[in-house]
Amino acid sequence: MSSLHKSVRKALGFSTLLGGALLLGGCGGGGSGPSVPATPVPTTAPGTLLADEFNSGSLDGKRWTVLGSTLNIQRTQMGNTPSFAQDSDGTRYMRVKLDSYLPTPSVRDGNSLEFLGTEVGGTMRFARGNGVSFESRMRLSAPNQAGMVAAMFLYSEKGIYGGTPPLLLDEIDHELLTTPLNSGSPYTWTNIYNDFILHQPGQGSGDSYVNNPTKTEGLPEPIIATFNPSGWNTYRIEWKAGSVQWFINDTLIRTDTSARVPDDALGVRFNIWAASAPPTGWAAAFSDTLKAATSAADNKTYSLDVDWIHVKSLDGSAATTSPLVFSAPRTSGAPMAGYKGK
Ligand SMILES: [Ca+2]
């Protein structure tokens, strides 16, 4: 699933870890990829709802927030903060980081957490209206290292954790799984969810990731000719009434026209994390070659680099936005047992 939630996602909580020492300069570390325009964000395009090139060296706290240490996903404690960097060609971008050294493993899940990941979320949600496009230019710093999941995804939740109505989520994901990217038949991953019930008190085990085809479907997407994960690629989700389409470098890779199409206002997020092994983890994404560091000196940092994000109304009409709302903190998440993907 997703980014969030095929997972032991603990409490949701927001920190305000923005700002701080954000350094520009340094080297990007990406490889040469397809030639995707570096600065095509048409901020004045009709219908633009959100445009950010991440060029300023810090995160705009009015538009973004960083999720804190009350959130974890599989092997990964969240709460890391993004940094900012610049390539020799002048491209400036946000680095959404996964550190292999977790300074405080003993405080979480009986030491099952080993990595320090990052999740950055937009502060506003966008109503679907006549359709909304979410597009971002991204790359992986180390796609040759298996075991990681990195994503741009759209997310919203409603209801009450353990209450009535229960907590439900809507979500659409463009995900990069470095394990299958290094396989003989490489693929990226897409997910869709509508009114999916997370595991919570009063809901048994919640909705299943494998047995609720009316609510969710995750699919591998064989990589397209122009895709090179170490170079820049554009990822787009077009969300309309009755359909969701996923694109990479303007090539359509999936269309879903089912009842799974979300209908709640969605916000955009970026994250990177390390997957756990089955049975509670995600077999397709896990790799035991991704090693946690046992000292700060041995830390390795991997990143999802984000050059820009552009969200726009597809028909140019005004769209409704609303603040992102988070439920009360949760203390248990969705079990992954049985999750096999497709
Ligand atoms: Ca940029």
- pLDDT tens-digit map of 168-211: 899 999 999 999 999 999 999 999 999 998 878 888 777 876 66
pLDDT at position 206 is 77
Sign of CA dihedral 36, 40, 41, 42: negative
**Ligand 1 center from residue 56 Cα (angstroms):** 9
CA dihedral 248, 67, 213, 150 (to 10 degrees): 30
**Ligand 1 center from residue 158 Cα (angstroms):** 32
Number of domains in the chain: 1
Could you tell me if residue 108 is inside a domain? yes
Could you tell me if residue 293 is inside a domain? yes
Locate 326 and state its tokens.
């988070």
**Ligand 1 center from residue 59 Cα (angstroms):** 12
pLDDT at position 325 is 63
| Length in residues, the chain | 342
**Ligand 1 center from residue 57 Cα (angstroms):** 10
pLDDT at position 45 is 73
pLDDT at position 5 is 41
Could you tell me if residue 321 is inside a domain? yes
Q: What is the pTM of this model?
A: 0.85
DSSP type of residue 271: E
**Ligand 1 center from residue 21 Cα (angstroms):** 18
Could you tell me if residue 277 is inside a domain? yes
152 pLDDT band (50/70/90 cuts)?
very high
- Does 280 have pLDDT greater than 90? no
**Ligand 1 center from residue 33 Cα (angstroms):** 16
Q: For the segment 56-113, what is each residue's pLDDT rounded down to a tens digit? A: 999 999 999 998 877 888 899 899 999 999 999 999 999 999 999 998 866 555 667 8
Indicate the burial class of 108 (C-beta count within 10 angstroms; 0-12, 13-18, 19 or more): middle
Nearest to 155 by CA among 11, 1, 335, 339: 1
The rounded distance, in Å, linking the Cα atoms of 253 and 270 is 20
**Ligand 1 center from residue 232 Cα (angstroms):** 11
CA dihedral 216, 166, 206, 14 (to 10 degrees): 80
Range of the structural domain that residue 12 is part of = 4-32+49-341
Higher pLDDT, 269 or 342: 269
- Does 328 have pLDDT greater than 60? no
The rounded distance, in Å, linking the Cα atoms of 270 and 120 is 5
**Ligand 1 center from residue 253 Cα (angstroms):** 25
For the chain, helix, strand, coil in percent to 5 are 5, 40, 60
**Ligand 1 center from residue 170 Cα (angstroms):** 28
pLDDT at position 9 is 38
pLDDT at position 41 is 63
**Ligand 1 center from residue 23 Cα (angstroms):** 14
**Ligand 1 center from residue 244 Cα (angstroms):** 26
Could you tell me if residue 161 is inside a domain? yes
Per the CB < 8 A criterion, the answer to whether 76 and 69 are in contact is no
Per the CB < 8 A criterion, the answer to whether 98 and 76 are in contact is yes
**Ligand 1 center from residue 86 Cα (angstroms):** 8
**Ligand 1 center from residue 311 Cα (angstroms):** 15
**Ligand 1 center from residue 307 Cα (angstroms):** 4
Q: Which of 38-47, 122-131, 155-164, 321-330 has the highest mean pLDDT?
A: 122-131
Average pLDDT over residues 13-22: 29
**Ligand 1 center from residue 306 Cα (angstroms):** 7
The rounded distance, in Å, linking the Cα atoms of 95 and 306 is 6
Indicate the burial class of 84 (C-beta count within 10 angstroms; 0-12, 13-18, 19 or more): buried
**Ligand 1 center from residue 218 Cα (angstroms):** 30
**Ligand 1 center from residue 231 Cα (angstroms):** 14
Could you tell me if residue 41 is inside a domain? no
CATH number at residue 245: 2.60.120.200
**Ligand 1 center from residue 72 Cα (angstroms):** 28
pLDDT at position 203 is 85
What is each CA distance from 287 to 146, 183, 274, 277, 292, in whole angstroms? 6, 12, 9, 7, 12
Percent of the chain scoring above 90 in pLDDT? 61
Q: For the segment 226-262, what is each residue's pLDDT rounded down to a tens digit? A: 999 999 999 999 999 999 999 999 999 999 999 999 9
**Ligand 1 center from residue 308 Cα (angstroms):** 5
pLDDT at position 39 is 58
- Does 336 have pLDDT greater than 80? no
The rounded distance, in Å, linking the Cα atoms of 89 and 27 is 10
Could you tell me if residue 116 is inside a domain? yes
Mean pLDDT across the chain, nearest whole number? 82
- Does 27 have pLDDT greater than 50? no
pLDDT at position 110 is 65
**Ligand 1 center from residue 20 Cα (angstroms):** 19
Could you tell me if residue 38 is inside a domain? no
- Does 298 have pLDDT greater than 70? yes
**Ligand 1 center from residue 217 Cα (angstroms):** 32
**Ligand 1 center from residue 94 Cα (angstroms):** 7
The rounded distance, in Å, linking the Cα atoms of 234 and 152 is 11
**Ligand 1 center from residue 40 Cα (angstroms):** 10
